[in-house]
Every structure is written in C-alpha cells, then in structure tokens.
Structure 1
Amino acid sequence: MKSKMLFQGYDDEFILTKKVSLPKLNHDQTADVVIDEDGSDVITYINYSLQLSSSHKFPFYTATNIDGLKFKKVPRKDNWRKDDRVAKDNQWGTELYNADKSNFDRGHMTKREDVQWGETIGIALNAADSTFYYTNAVPQHKDLNRDIWRSLEDYILHTEAKRNQLRICVFTGPVLSNANPYFVTPINNAQIQIPSLFWKVVVFEKEDGKLYRVGFMMSQNKLLINDNIIEQLESDDQIFMQFNDADTYQVNVSLIEEVSGLEIPEAIDSYTDKRATKLVLKEIDIDPDLESDSIGYELGFNIENILL
C-alpha cells in the first residue's frame, strides 16, 4: 500500500494582500495534463506545485512560494525519485538521465533553496527534499544549470527575497514545443525532444501595495548542439532564433505567454519592450564565488529597478 503524502503546495494567497493564481493552461495543454492518483491535475509538494505534460513528461510549469524571512540553511540530499502518486510512464527517470550521451543535469524547475523555508529546520529540510522528484526536473546542460541560470535564481532568492525578507511567487518552466530538438539517444525506441528554452516569472508586491511581475528567458540550444546531445530541427520559428546563444534575457511576460502557451497571472509589468533585453553574461567571466548582489549588477538589474 502506498504511503499517503500530504503536501500543501503552492498558496495563491501567499502574498497576503493579493491573490496570485496558478498559470492557466491552453486547450491543448489541458487535454495533455497528467492527473494524479487523487484525480487532481495540479501536483502539490511542500511550498510549490506543478502541472505535468503527459506527452512530454516534463512540467508545463512549476509555481513556488518563497518566504525570505523564514529561509533556513539545511544540508543538500540528492534523492531523485519518481512520484508514486503519478503513473510512472508519465515521468522520466534514470532511463533518460543515465542514457548514452545524456550529458545534462536533472535541472530543477523549482529550485531546491527556493522552498527551503518554514517555521522549523525540519520543515525546510523536507521542503528541499521534495524538489528531488523527477516531475520537477527537465534536462539542462550543466553550463546552464550550474552557472548562467543558477546566477539568476540565486540573485532572486539571496539578494531579493532573503535579504529583504520578501514573500514572492515564482513561476518557472521549459517551453514544450514541437520545434524542440531531438535527443540523439532514443529512449525505449522513442525519440525524445529536449526543451531548448526556459522561462521564469517573478511576482511581487511593491511598497505602493500593487502587484508587479518580471520575466526572464534563456536558451540552451547551442550548448546542447556543441556537445552533440541533440539533433537540430529545421525551424522557421523566429522566437526560437532570438534565444539561440545560451544567454539570459529579460523579456516581456507576454512573450513568455506566447512561447509557452500559458496565461500568466495578471500584474503590472516592470519591464515592457518589443525587444528582448539581453542580460550581459557572455562578455564577462562570472566568478561562482561572487556575492549575489555583484551577480545582480553583472546581470544588468538591481533591487532598485526590479523588486522595489
């Protein structure tokens, strides 16, 4: 008999004065969403939730509450496993991540440290451990997962949320598209498409009492090509061509909605432009030991023009 896991999941009333709902799936995504053993299409964990694609076996998005005031420092335990509440054939596991040519990481969509908070160390430890379900993972090139994307994630958590004791909501996901390239190694005699683009939206409240949101996007396309991990598809999709150099961009949330097919909760956009603004990382050598506010400076934004 399965042990019953009771997870509260994402709280849409986490920002106390405003409700921030989950992103909405479009018609095709709704038809493709995985239903768990309780009949729910939203899979809940500790301080975060997600909706999972049945055809891709990756999340459409994850939704995370971050409480900077209650953040706890706890040891990391890499305990990757499939979620017993979800049919195993709706989740990738070692069959993908240990396959030949799988030179990529199990990339957390909800970052381990982002949910690493609570009233006690025990709650924070359990929350961190709950991010090690394969339902929360998407293949990410190590240079993305451990460097460029991580710099952005660390900045949001350590410089903004933790230092300023903020309560924020973060939505993260891959772009699940038929334009995605194929992994060079078939899995169970099937060709698997690896997401090229990733996006993140941060929703927060300013001192004026209003909700704001800011979006980011990046590509791992060239990283995967250079390491012979993928077979590139010919595509006329100009959006994909904009994000083809393994850098991070600040973008309009409307662009994220366009490429992801999701409807992101309404808020005031902190950034609006018809172009994607590059957060310059390629021209500099980021030291992994840099303080997070130094990284924020290199990324081209800071606390004054993003979260305050």
Structure 2
Amino acid sequence: MTGYNPHFLNGFTIEFPKLSSNLSMTVARSDELREGYIADYPNFSIVINADEDKRSAAVVAFQFDQTLFKSTKRRGKWRMDYRFDDFDVLGPEYYYQNPYDRGHLARRSTAGFGQTQTEAQRNANETFYYTNAALQHANLNQDEWLSLEEYARNLQDAQDGKVLSFNGCIYGDTDRSITPDGLPIARVPAGFFKVLAFVNQEGELEVRAFIQYQDREALRDKQASRRVGYDNVVYQTSLMEVEELTGLIFDPKMYSANPLFFSNQPDGNPMNVVDTPERIEITRNEDIISPGQTRKTIRDDDVDVYLIAALVNPDGVDAGNEWVSMINLSGNEIDMTGWTLVDRASKREQLSITKLAPGASHVQHLSVIQLNNNGDTLELYDADGARIDWVIYQEKEVKAGKPVLFMEPTSL
C-alpha cells in the first residue's frame, strides 16, 4: 500500500519525521509495518503512540494534490487495522456516548483525489481506520478544526497544488480522560497540530505550523506564551514548538522554511517580532504569517483596556440593538480617539468615545459590525493599528436577550 511519498513536492525531498528517543520507546511496532512502525495507507502514513493511556496517532503524514480533487461521498465505515494489536489503538468503545467525535487526522474529503473518480473515492474510503481517528471534542471537530482543514484543502499559495500535511495529537500533564466500562483509561488530547509544507509561488519551500487546543489547562506548564488564551483557537507557531510538544523531529529543510521564530529574533527586528517563541492567534486567514511578513503590533499586555461583554442576540436575530462593552482598568485616562473594533469578517467599527477615565466603562452600540449568533471574534485596535485586546465567543454562549461575558465580574 503506497503511503507517504517524500518526493511528492517538486524539487524538494521531505523525509518522514523522525522520533525522539522518548517517543520512539512508545510507538506501536509490528513486522506488518514498514520499518516495523510505519503504517501505510493510500497517500498517507501513520505512526501510533501505543502508550496505554494514549493509543492514538503520534503523526499522520499526508499528501494531496489540489488539481486532482474529486467530489466523494461518505461511504467508508470505521474499522480497526489488522496490522495493529487491538490494545494499541483506541477502538469504537472510546467514542460511544460521550462528547468526543472520531476526528479524522487525514481528512476524508481532502484524501478524495486521484486520476479517476473511482480512485478518489477509494482513497477517501481508506481514511476510516481508527488509527486515523482521535478523541476530538464535537465543538472543535465541527467548527474550528474544520475551518483549519478547509484552509489546508483550499490553500491558495501552493505553486502546483501539491501539499504535505503532518497532523497528530498533543498531550499535556493534566489531560482529561475517559474510561469506557471494562476498558483501560484513555487520555483526551489537550490539542492537535497541523504542519503544512508546499512549494510557494516563488518556487521556494514554505512551511506553516499550527496548534489548536481543546484543553489549554492541560498544557499550562508547557505554554511558552505568557498571554492567557482560549481553547479552540488556532495558533500559528514555530515548527520547533511542535517538535518540543510532540517529540517529532522534522526534515531539517522544514525548519528554515517556517516563518515563525522559536528563539532568536532577526537582526534589527524588521518584521516586528514581539516575543519568542512566536505564537500568533489566527482568527481569519489574513492573520497567517508568510516568510518576511511584518507582524501586527500587539499591546495586549501594555494597555489595560479590555472587552468585557457583548449583546450578540438582542431579539433572536443577527441585527439591531447590538453592543460591545469595554473597561479601562488602568490608573490613567486613555485617549481612545480613532480606536476601532474589528470582527472576523474584517468589518471595522470606529468607537464613538474619545477618552475613557480610570475604572470607567464604555458601551459601543454597533452600526457597521453585525455580531454573528454562530460565534465570532472581536479585536480592539488603537489609532496606530496596534491590537489592544481580543475575544472569541461560540454559538453555545449566545442567548437571546442576554450578553455574552468575556470577563467574569469577580475579575473586574
């Protein structure tokens, strides 16, 4: 069975990731597997972390050709892979009557490519192995992770439509767990990573790495960023951070092709790198950093003005009488002339206030932005274009006639 192809990208050989010594001791091994530990499927290969409380993919290395996509149907049935012992991989019992989906790591629709419709459908069907599934919360699998998958599938920057995608689970020190009746405990991944590699429009290798958490609390001690963040948000990050969190060692060429910095900033800091390791919240595709791109100025930690609440659905519809409130928790009056709110659709609303006294709050009634009942992101920018604060809310938080709170009253 043909799996990951290191020669898939024209002009570049990208070797299958190597394993750190610690990770190597935990992977499932069998004489049925390539090199004793790599399971090959059509256009992707999987390494299983067989730790008793994990039993999920350490990495799924996947290639796809956008020029050969076909419209495929969901015809596959989830099944175990006979090449693995049953106790090496989480089976169907771990996805039964709980909030966790069988999250595809190699996505079905993205695997649906080939020279013919039959080939594309067969490739899509072969993604329905439990080796390719992970315990992914339904809210994440059907929303933010799906958005990241769509971004990868429709990536506009690949010169010839060929893309490599490396995906897998991230675990923390205090992961949640589930225990089906009569079966061993399984840890729920704290998050997932996706690393994309492609030849860009200039003919150069480019790599973009992403992390998405479904439980940031489990990774509290491993967080490089000092900024409080959210579950379910996509972060663009450095490839070295993915290595540190997973124990995977990628092809050396990929590190220099990744635009984010893990440690040393560039001389003179022409790209406005604020801190390292870099981790950039992605609320829209325009936020994704390309090589040499200047970063937006972030003043979240410098200016103590915060978004605190929003009336998203005053009448059960997406328009009319909506507002966003903010508060000045500093000891100084803040000049807010020219400040703006920006939503996920990049609509901008200029604030109606010019100054905000210490401890005072402001309610901005919206006329340009229409808050989305299905969830949205709001960012607050000063007159110089520096981001002062940002918040995200989900559909489940939206109640008719009740504001969504971004800060608890006890923290004000």
Q: Which TM-score tier does this pair reach, normalised by the shorter chain?
A: 0.7 to 0.9
In structure 2, what is the Cα distance between the partners aligned to 1:157 and 1:59? 21
For the Cα contact (< 8 Å) 2:94–2:180, is it kept in 1? no
- Post-superposition CA distance 1:177-218 (Å, at most 9, x none): 4x1413243553533211011111100112333211011111
Q: Tell me what 1:199 maps to.
A: 193
**Whose strand proportion is higher, 1 or 2?**
2
C-alpha distance 239-96 of structure 1, shift in aligned 2 (>3 A) = farther
Q: Tell me what 2:177 maps to.
A: 183
Aligned with 1:41 (options 3, 12, 37) = 37
Aligned pairs (5 A) from 1:132-211: 132-160=128-156, 165-177=160-172, 179-186=173-180, 188-211=182-205
In structure 2, what is the Cα distance between the partners aligned to 1:286 and 1:165? 38
Runs of 4+ deviating beyond 4 Å: 232-235, 239-244, 281-288
In structure 1, what is the Cα distance between the partners aligned to 2:80 and 2:113? 23
For the Cα contact (< 8 Å) 2:105–2:134, is it kept in 1? yes
Per-residue deviation, 1:249: 0.8
Report the AA paired with residue 256 of structure 1: V
Q: Tell me what 1:297 maps to.
A: none
Per-residue deviation, 1:286: 8.9
C-alpha distance 103-16 of structure 1, shift in aligned 2 (>3 A) = same
Aligned pairs (5 A) from 1:205-244: 205-221=199-215, 236-239=221-224, 244=230
Per-residue deviation, 1:159: 4.3
Q: Tell me what 1:97 maps to.
A: 95
Instruction: Determine helix, strand or coil for the equivalent of 1:38.
Output: coil
In terms of Rg, which structure is larger?
2
More relative contact order in 1 or in 2 (CA 8 Å, sep 6+)? 1
Q: Provide structure 1 residue ranges, at least 5 long, that are not aligned to the other structure.
A: 1-6, 223-231, 289-308
Aligned pairs (5 A) from 1:72-91: 72-91=70-89
In structure 1, what is the Cα distance between the partners aligned to 2:137 and 2:39? 26
For the Cα contact (< 8 Å) 2:178–2:187, is it kept in 1? no
Aligned with 1:30 (options 11, 14, 24) = 24
Per-residue deviation, 1:104: 1.0
- Post-superposition CA distance 1:222-273 (Å, at most 9, x none): 7xxxxxxxxx769633349866422111111111111111112222113335
In structure 1, what is the Cα distance between the partners aligned to 2:157 and 2:43? 15
Per-residue deviation, 1:54: 1.2
C-alpha distance 109-122 of structure 1, shift in aligned 2 (>3 A) = same
Q: Tell me what 2:410 maps to.
A: none
C-alpha distance 38-23 of structure 1, shift in aligned 2 (>3 A) = same
Aligned pairs (5 A) from 1:89-128: 89-98=87-96, 100=97, 102-128=98-124
C-alpha distance 256-156 of structure 1, shift in aligned 2 (>3 A) = same
Q: Provide structure 2 residue ranges, at least 5 long, that are not aligned to the other structure.
A: 262-272, 285-341, 345-371, 376-412
In structure 1, what is the Cα distance between the partners aligned to 2:236 and 2:26? 29
- Post-superposition CA distance 1:64-117 (Å, at most 9, x none): 11101111111112411101111111111122111x5x2110001111122211
Per-residue deviation, 1:150: 0.8
Report the AA paired with residue 188 of structure 1: G
Report the AA paired with residue 111 of structure 2: V
For the Cα contact (< 8 Å) 1:68–1:161, is it kept in 2? no
For the Cα contact (< 8 Å) 1:67–1:161, is it kept in 2? no
Aligned with 1:257 (options 243, 247, 261) = 243
Report the AA paired with residue 83 of structure 2: R
Q: Tell me what 2:282 maps to.
A: 279
Aligned length: 269
Give the structure-2-normalised TM-score. Answer: 0.60
Q: Tell me what 1:304 maps to.
A: none
In structure 2, what is the Cα distance between the partners aligned to 1:188 and 1:121? 43
Instruction: Determine helix, strand or coil for the equivalent of 1:170.
Output: strand
In structure 1, what is the Cα distance between the partners aligned to 2:83 and 2:107? 21
State percent identity of aligned pairs.
Answer: 26
In structure 2, what is the Cα distance between the partners aligned to 1:13 and 1:184? 40
Q: Tell me what 1:298 maps to.
A: none
In structure 1, what is the Cα distance between the partners aligned to 2:203 and 2:174? 40
